[in-house]
């Protein structure tokens, strides 16, 4: 390389470094300021209503407070109190049971519904709307409907009336430790399946129809098409909804709170209901520290679960 050529290349590198060097004016001129201004409202709202409460929660989990006097530092005492509470084990067990049952019923049903709806050419819109309808009903109204119409324990309850025709019942659906949790799962599946059905329907539209035609030519029936084409093509969406379902069901609160208050005999006491009981139950405001500690434990568990799940399923996902 000649001296001139070396000089030119040195100058080019120097220019490039100069360009890379951070300069506020350069950043502003380059559109950084405008981007920041656009993001500012979102940052302010998220900061005030999401991040600040999260930080407060973390701080509170290490404190004692009565909402009047300045909080005092409690170290890990709140976490110890939660772990030593016999109801914690009960709540973990119940939450796992709810999540497991919800997975069993709530995961395949929307998928089957979506596949069946997508097969229907003429009434697809109506079926989709019907599937989504429960999501539109306010959750509290939905729970009240199920509690006082379907699960009414006397013989006038809808389920008990139907079973009565065949000489069964009446059953106290929500009043027996054996049936209370499955009853909650059935209502929860009814209430939430619509959203997942819509997601699956959207995903199904992206599956190449030629694959089905090719499979038909090869003599594949409906089940083989679903197993060998639909499910593999949708695996990215299926994995994401699986993870979201676990996150959602571990945080179940509304159903046990409104249906049973955690009863009978703590059979439907879930982790978030226990958080509520710590914060608002008997101690009128002095159990906020324990409530925050348990909330943090649930959040950390779900975050870890999400990370591990994403890593484990990375190679299976198409997205």
Partner 1 sequence: MKSIFRAMTLAVVVTAMLLVVGAGSMATAGQQAKVTISVAALRPGSSDEAKKQFNDNVALFEKQHPNIDVKATEYAWNGATFAAQLAAGRLPTVFTVPFTDARTLGEHRQVADITAAVKKWPYYKKFQKTIIAEATTGKGRIIGVPYAAYAQALHYNRDLFRQAGLDPNKPPTTWAQLRKYAKQISQRTGQAGYAQMGLNDNTAGWILTTVAYTLGGRMETGRGTAATATLNNKYTVQALQLLKQMRWTDNSMGATYDYTWPTINQAFAAGKIGMFVNGSDIYTFLVQAANLDPKIYGIAPLPLAKNKTAGVLGGGSIAVVRPDTKGAKLDAAMKWIDFFYMEKLVKKTAALRDARILVANQQPVGVPAFPIFNKKQYDLANTWIKPYINVPLKQMNPFLKGIFKQNLYPEPAASTQSVYHALDPVVQSVFTDRNANISDLLAQANEVAQKAIRDGK
Q: Least CB distance from residue 256 to partner 1, whole Å?
A: 10
**Interface segment toward partner 1; rule CB under 8 A; list 196-204, 217-225, 229-237, 261-269:** 261-269
**Interface segment toward partner 1; rule CB under 8 A; list 1-9, 55-63, 168-176, 190-198:** 168-176
Cβ within 8 Å of residue 289, ≥6 positions away = 60, 61, 62, 63, 64, 65, 74, 77, 78
Where do the H-state alpha helices sit in 21-85? 24-29, 32-46, 52-60, 77-84
Interaction mask 267-296, partner 1, x per CB under 8 A: --x------x--xxxxxxxxxx--------
When asked if residue 55 is in the footprint of partner 1 (CB under 8 A), the reply is no
Angle at Cα 284 formed by Cα 280 and Cα 290, nearest 5°? 60
Q: Least CB distance from residue 21 to partner 1, whole Å?
A: 49
CB 191 within 8 A of CB 139: yes
Residue 69 pairs in a beta bridge with none
Comparing CB distances to partner 1, the nearer of 5 and 67 is 67
CA distance 306 to 246: 9
Q: Least CB distance from residue 282 to partner 1, whole Å?
A: 4
* Near partner 1 by CB under 8 A: residue from 71, 100, 153, 164: 153
Comparing CB distances to partner 1, the nearer of 246 and 292 is 292
Q: Least CB distance from residue 68 to partner 1, whole Å?
A: 5
Q: Least CB distance from residue 45 to partner 1, whole Å?
A: 19
* Near partner 1 by CB under 8 A: residue from 100, 139, 172, 248: 172
Comparing CB distances to partner 1, the nearer of 233 and 283 is 283
- Is residue 256 reached through a cis peptide bond, with omega within 30 degrees of 0 on the bond before it? no
Q: Which of 211, 205, 186, 199 has the alpha carbon at shortest distance from 239?
A: 199
Token digits for 270?
A: 């879930």
Phi, psi of 64 (to 5 degrees): -105, 140
**Interface segment toward partner 1; rule CB under 8 A; list 38-46, 153-161, 184-192, 205-213:** 153-161
Q: Which of 109, 116, 88 has the alpha carbon at shortest distance from 245?
A: 109
* Near partner 1 by CB under 8 A: residue from 1, 3, 37, 67: 67
> Chain centroid to CA 289: how far?
25
Output DSSP code: residue 281: I
When asked if residue 164 is in the footprint of partner 1 (CB under 8 A), the reply is no
Write out the binding residues for partner 1, residues 13-52 only, by CB under 8 A: none
CA distance 207 to 210: 9
Output DSSP code: residue 259: I
Through-space distance between the first and last CA atoms of the chain, rounded to whole angstroms: 47
When asked if residue 266 is in the footprint of partner 1 (CB under 8 A), the reply is yes
Q: Least CB distance from residue 154 to partner 1, whole Å?
A: 4
CA distance 42 to 50: 11
When asked if residue 92 is in the footprint of partner 1 (CB under 8 A), the reply is no
* Near partner 1 by CB under 8 A: residue from 262, 274, 296, 298: 262
Cβ-count burial 209-231 (b if 16+ within 10 Å, e if not): eeebeebeeeebeeeebbeebbe
When asked if residue 233 is in the footprint of partner 1 (CB under 8 A), the reply is no
Q: Least CB distance from residue 305 to partner 1, whole Å?
A: 29
Q: Which residues bind partner 1 (CB under 8 A)?
A: 66-69, 81, 86-87, 153-155, 170, 172, 174-177, 260-266, 269, 276, 279-288
């Amino acid at each position: 390389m000649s001296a001139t050529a070396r000089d030119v290349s040195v100058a080019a590198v120097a220019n490039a470094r100069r360009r890379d060097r951070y300069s506020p004016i350069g950043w502003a001129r380059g559109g950084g300021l405008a981007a920041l201004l656009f993001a500012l409202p979102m940052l302010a709202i998220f900061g005030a209503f999401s991040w600040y409460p999260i930080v407060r929660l973390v701080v509170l989990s290490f404190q004692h407070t009565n909402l009047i006097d300045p909080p005092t530092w409690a170290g890990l005492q709140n976490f110890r109190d939660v772990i030593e509470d016999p109801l914690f084990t009960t709540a973990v067990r119940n939450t796992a049971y709810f999540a497991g049952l919800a997975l069993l019923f709530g995961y395949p049903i929307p998928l089957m519904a979506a596949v069946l709806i997508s097969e229907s050419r003429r009434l697809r819109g109506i079926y989709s709307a019907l599937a989504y309808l429960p999501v539109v009903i306010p959750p509290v109204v939905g729970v009240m409907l199920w509690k006082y119409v379907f699960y009414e324990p006397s013989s006038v309850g809808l389920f008990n009336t139907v079973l009565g025709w065949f000489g069964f019942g009446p059953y106290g659906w929500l009043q027996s430790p054996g049936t209370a949790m499955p009853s909650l799962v059935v209502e929860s599946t009814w209430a939430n399946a619509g959203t997942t059905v819509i997601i699956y329907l959207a995903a199904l539209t992206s599956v190449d129809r030629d694959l089905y035609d090719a499979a038909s030519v090869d003599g594949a029936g409906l089940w083989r098409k679903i197993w060998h084409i639909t499910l593999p093509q949708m695996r990215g969406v299926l994995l994401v909804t699986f993870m979201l379902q676990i996150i959602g069901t571990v945080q179940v609160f509304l159903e046990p709170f409104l249906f049973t208050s955690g009863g009978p005999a703590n059979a439907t006491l879930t982790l978030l209901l226990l958080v509520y009981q710590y914060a608002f139950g008997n101690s009128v405001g002095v159990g906020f520290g324990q409530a925050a500690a348990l909330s943090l434990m649930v959040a950390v568990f779900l975050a870890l679960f999400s990370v591990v799940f994403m890593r484990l399923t990375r190679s299976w996902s198409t997205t």
